[in-house]
Amino acid sequence: MSNAGEGTIGVGMVGHAFMGKVHTHAWRSVHHFFDVPLAPRLAVLGGRDLDRTKAAAAKLGWDAVETDWRALIARDDVQIVDICTPGDSHKDIAIAALAAGKHVLCEKPLANSVAEAEEMAAAAAAAAANGQRSMVAFNYRRVPALAVARQMIADGRLGKIRHVRSQYLQDWLSDPNTPMAWRLRKEQAGSGALGDIGAHIIDATQFLLGEHLTGVSALMETFVHKRPLDGDPKGKLDDVTVDDAALFIGRFASGALATYEATRFALGRKNSMRLEINGEHGSLAFDFESMNELSFYDGTGDEQSAGFRRILITEPTHPYVGAWWPPGHIIGYEHTFTHEVYDFLTDIHNGTDPVPGFADGLQVQRVLAAVESSATTGSGWVAVSS
């Protein structure tokens, strides 16, 4: 694998919409705040439309453009391929990039089906033997407050975990006149709220507990079945083929019970991700709308003064935070992606397998499949395959 230049590593990114902008910011900023072995260079931006891709590259700061992702992968100045496309193209791009000797960062969910994810995980495992690293972009793992929560749970501060409660609430589809988008087509997105935001809370809770869900029972619903095509002067309607909301219960390997709610129809909730973990000795609560805070209830203390206490996660000893601002100066959503690429670059340099890797993405895909099976067949409890 050739180098993009001394002290740098070349990134080729496929896709330049919302996720592409966020990832670009991360690649561009990481070496200005973190000590990374190689500074990423924004080598090539990939997109289907030449004019739009050129405009995005000029705005975001990419050196060159390609309209064919295969040509992007083949370039000598690209050592990392970053996949920010809809799920229907993840498998082909990732497997081709790994076969070409590139490292791969892929947006979540890993694929649109378990079968596709299995192929990707197998390709990643084979490529790892040759030194290529791959990671799934579950960025909420890189929220410092959740990293602290994971450590507190691992240290036994909560004791045996009994209950997990998780919600991811948005409202951007509540208006039935909101036009069609690729996220509403199953052939492109794989699923709706379930895969888009439900995947995040599945991964986040498994990350916090350090264990997997073993079974689920679910309901899914599509509230608006047809939506107008964007820009169609005749107001033609198209079929929505994914879920608008998914609700399910689950059980972890340890026996802990869990509830999950993912919806894009919660009016007034813009990006509300909430987690609560209840154990025998204490509880932790997190709300992404206050992402620099963690609430902790210590059940071992004096009952008369007991209550949830607020922990401000801005100290330099907290994960990732020391690279940013003085204590009390909060960070935001975009920083989680910078933390993600910092970890990825470090793993590439050290020759270690990134977490979450494609095998982790496959496991989340199996949970998504079990949820969908339970909801669509009405079969009740469905075991998560291993």
CA atoms of 187 and 182, how far apart (whole Å): 9
Phi, psi at 266, each rounded to 5°: -100, 90
pTM, full prediction: 0.96
Please report whether residue 359 resides in a domain. no
| pLDDT tens per residue, range 214-225 | 999 999 999 999
Residue 230 pLDDT grade (very low, low, confident, very high; cuts 50, 70, 90) = confident
Domain boundary among 140, 161, 191: 140
Phi, psi at 168, each rounded to 5°: -135, 110
CA atoms of 167 and 164, how far apart (whole Å): 10
Q: Are 14 and 72 in contact (CB under 8 A)?
A: yes
348 with 317, same domain: the answer is yes
Which domain covers residue 319, as residue numbers?
144-354+364-377
165 with 303, same domain: the answer is yes
111 with 249, same domain: the answer is no
| pLDDT tens per residue, range 169-211 | 999 999 999 999 999 999 999 999 999 999 999 999 999 999 9
265 with 171, same domain: the answer is yes
User: How many domains is the chain partitioned into structurally?
Assistant: 2
